[in-house]
């Protein structure tokens, strides 16, 4: 087995659980005494999620920098600017050496929507501080991100409660 100072994980696909899995890693890292941070690229401040409440309780640094889902946006230029700003925050954290784990939640959307060039993201993740592990989440991960990653998991929908008309449930969905 090869020992490396850090790894990159990508959770992608159309199924549920990409962010949930990342937040499981967040809890595990915190339990190991790691300095952990989360940067969210899409969700806005109005979301009151269970994982955010947990992170606040544990003292995990959390940045919710989006303004919600694009289909809810009233100003797509502002939405894109927020996505670019989130990448600037994430890039600084990647390079800082201050974190053993950085979760870039929904980063794939910032790339697929054209807010941040994939080459810039690849360069930032490759050039990260050696001890910074990274988890990237979101649908439609660019091939360059998949190539860069050490571990890629694709979530697939087999069946979802929403398809049966069941609304999101606190504690399960958020």
Residue 71: pLDDT above 60?
A: no
Chain-centroid distance, C-alpha 128: 16
pLDDT tier at 3 (50, 70, 90 boundaries)?
confident
At 49 the pLDDT is 87
The DSSP-derived string for 61-95 is: EEEE---S-GGG-S-HHHHHHHHHHHHHHHHHHHH
162: pLDDT strictly greater than 90:
no
Domains contained in the chain, CATH given: 8-164 (3.40.50.300)
pLDDT-derived band at 65 (thresholds 50, 70, 90) equals: confident
Residue 10 to residue 105: CA distance in whole angstroms: 10
- Per-residue model confidence as pLDDT tens digits over 44-63: 666 678 899 999 999 999 99
Query: Structure tokens of 91?
Result: 């890039």
Q: Are 19 and 25 in contact (CB under 8 A)?
A: no
Confidence check: pLDDT of 142 > 80: yes
CB proximity list for 26: less than 8 A, separation 6 or greater: 36, 38, 51, 55, 60, 101, 103, 135
Please tell me what DSSP assigns to residue 157.
-
Predicted pLDDT at 68: 58
pTM over 0.85? The answer is yes
- Name the token pair of 10: 């990508």
Indicate the range of 60-69, 108-117, 151-160 predicted with least confidence.
60-69
What's the average model confidence in pLDDT over 103-118?
Answer: 96
């Amino acid at each position: 087995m090869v020992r490396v100072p850090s790894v990159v994980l990508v959770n992608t696909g159309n199924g549920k659980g990409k962010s949930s899995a990342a937040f499981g890693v967040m809890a595990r890292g915190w339990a190991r005494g790691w300095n952990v941070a989360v940067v969210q690229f899409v969700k806005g401040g109005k979301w009151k999620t269970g994982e955010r409440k947990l992170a606040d309780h544990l003292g995990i640094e959390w940045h919710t920098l989006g303004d919600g889902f694009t289909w809810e946006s009233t100003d797509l230029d502002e939405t894109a600017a927020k996505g670019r700003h989130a990448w600037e925050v994430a890039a600084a954290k990647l390079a800082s050496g201050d974190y053993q784990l950085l979760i870039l939640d929904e980063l794939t959307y910032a790339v697929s929507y054209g807010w941040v060039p994939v080459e810039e993201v690849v360069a930032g993740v490759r050039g990260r501080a050696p001890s910074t592990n990274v988890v990237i989440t979101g649908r439609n991960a660019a091939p360059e991100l998949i190539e860069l990653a050490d571990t890629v998991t694709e979530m697939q929908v087999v069946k979802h409660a929403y398809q049966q008309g069941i609304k999101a449930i606190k504690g399960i969905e958020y």
